[in-house]
Amino acid sequence: MKLAAAAGGTLLVSPNFAFAGEVDNLSIAWTTDTASWDPNQRLSPDPQTILKMVFDQPIDMTSDLKLTPGLLTEWTLADDAMSMHVTLRDDVTFSDGSKLTTEDFRYTFFERVNQGEELDIAVGFGTVSDIEILSPTEAVMQFSKPSPIVAQWLSFSASYVVSKAYAEKVGPEKMKTSPMGTGPYVLTEYQRDSRIVLTRRDDYWGDLPSAKQITIEIIPDPTARLAALESGTVDIATELSIRDVKRLEQGGTLNAVTNPIARIIYVTIRADGVFADRNVRLAAHHAVDKDLLSKAFFGGDAVTINQPTIPGMPSFLPDFHFDYDVAKAQELLAASGFGPDNPVTLDFATTNGQFPGDYDIARAVVTMWEKVGIKANLTVITESQWYELNASGKLPPASLFVWENGTGDPELFAGNMFDADLPFATYRTDEVTAMIKPLLKEPDYDTRIKGYEEFNQYLIEEGAMIPLLQAIQTIGYRNGIEIKPWANGLIRPEAITIS
């Protein structure tokens, strides 16, 4: 099965975009620092824009999430999904001048994982049993079991190629602090949780972005990011409130854009405790007015969702609905002995400032639940605490969470969200495991997508999660700049034009 290929003469090295003038420095107000400069270490979505400025991926994505050549010019997955032949570009160098070869590709996606380093990249490439090197530019990936979405993984978070020679020279700890990649920029100044300065490589193998230097100011507070933009301290500010974006759009002195992205906001559910009762799970979903959430916190721009994916992606069911129905919620709770005068009580965790409106959305859900007979005690946690609590089995019965899938593939939505072998699953049952495990190794595309359609519907009808909204990325920027948004939420330097 041939997934994608491009002839050398027509290779797209910078998907979808051409830029105009140049600028000496472009400053961006960003939400959080990268947890590590080792690009294979963490799958967290927020640092990926930063990491992709320094590192390149084997396969790239167009703005609408189509696979396109990156460091690879060609990739061919075997019909049984047990191997994939890949061809690398022959003109790529790391920032130290050394040439990229299949030795680096093998090291990144096989040797690093195989030698037991603590890397999130193992989630996508743990099935790689070997990478056979045929030449400096050709190799064959071998898998221990069918791996139908390896091409998507090669374009996803943390899938950046690192230099074998550099990694072995400096060791794992220095990889976390001193990055060296094939990307368009190099790190020239770094103050943790404060400032990142990246300088453009004029010897970059692809088209040069318009900014000779990019300064990223780490500003966690959205109000402070807006103030930095309005004062002229930064040229671009991300993740502003919808209210502020609407004001910027109407003001004329600054610009703003709202970008629906491949990220969903949802409520996680545990299968034990109070939510062992299916009636309670379903009542909690029926009680949420998602249209109101969209209007109240996103100006009506956020698309409401009833399944663990977004419109237009594979496995999305356009005719599937789950109604907001207060009477039905009360009926289900009453069948289990609960109601407004005798509420079921549970803890509910949320982040505050991780994405626009998170805490306010959680408070609104608490209010909606209270009307039908669910009393939720809201607590604030960080994203890292969410993972720690889930790993220790101490995550509250419900939590507001955001899930990003820059590929749109259902395995990286429902598949990873509910695979009990991964650190993301909260609803764990034998039935879910029995449904999901065959899909993770199904080589036939149509069969796999059909299976995920059925799995998505099952999850909602069982109350295994409460999908709320397709997330919106908000970007404010000064006049004289134009930005082409990417559906995976990345801000691409080559997608910024300067007039």
> pLDDT by residue for the chain (499 residues), tens digit each?
333 333 333 233 334 343 457 899 999 999 889 989 999 998 877 789 999 999 999 999 999 889 999 999 999 999 999 999 999 999 999 999 999 999 999 999 999 999 888 899 998 899 999 999 999 999 999 999 999 999 999 999 899 999 999 999 999 999 999 999 999 999 999 999 999 999 999 999 998 999 999 999 999 888 999 999 999 999 999 989 888 888 888 877 899 988 889 999 999 999 999 999 999 999 999 999 999 999 999 889 899 999 999 998 899 999 999 999 999 999 999 999 999 999 999 999 999 977 778 999 999 999 999 999 999 999 999 988 998 999 999 999 999 999 988 888 999 999 999 999 888 899 999 999 999 999 998 999 999 999 999 999 999 999 999 999 998 889 999 999 999 999 888 999 999 998 8
Interhelix angle 326-335/358-372, nearest 10 degrees: 60
Residue 465 pairs in a beta bridge with: 268
| pLDDT value at residue 11 | 32
Cα distance between residue 452 and residue 441, in whole Å: 12
Sign of CA dihedral 133, 139, 140, 142: positive
| pLDDT value at residue 46 | 77
For the chain, the distance separating the N- and C-terminal CA atoms, rounded to the nearest angstrom, is: 44
Average pLDDT, the chain: 92
Cα distance between residue 188 and residue 95, in whole Å: 12
User: Going by DSSP bridges, is the β-strand pair 344-350/398-404 parallel, antiparallel, or unpaired?
Assistant: parallel
pLDDT digits (tens, 9 = 90+) for 74-121: 999 999 999 999 999 999 999 999 999 999 999 999 999 998 888 999
| pLDDT value at residue 18 | 38
Q: Which helix (H) or strand (E) holds 96?
A: none
Sign of CA dihedral 325, 326, 331, 335: positive
Main-chain phi, psi angles of 145, to 5 degrees: -155, 165
The DSSP string of 336-362 is: TT-BTTB-EEEEEEE-SSSSTTHHHHH
| pLDDT value at residue 406 | 83
Cα distance between residue 352 and residue 338, in whole Å: 30
Task: Domains for the chain: give ranges and CATH numbers.
Answer: 56-163 (3.90.76.10), 262-472 (3.10.105.10)
Interhelix angle 278-286/445-462, nearest 10 degrees: 90
Quote the DSSP letter at residue 211.
B
- Please report, as a single letter, which amino acid is at residue 114: N
| pLDDT value at residue 125 | 94
Name the token pair of 35.
Answer: 């947890």
| pLDDT value at residue 64 | 87
| pLDDT value at residue 232 | 94
Residue 476 pairs in a beta bridge with: 237, 256
Name the token pair of 440.
Answer: 């993770």
| pLDDT value at residue 117 | 87
| pLDDT value at residue 389 | 96
Judged by phi (left if over 0) then psi (alpha if -120 to 50, else beta), residue 116 lies in left
Among candidate residues 228, 244, 271, 260, the one with its CA nearest the CA of residue 426: 271
Main-chain phi, psi angles of 363, to 5 degrees: -65, -40
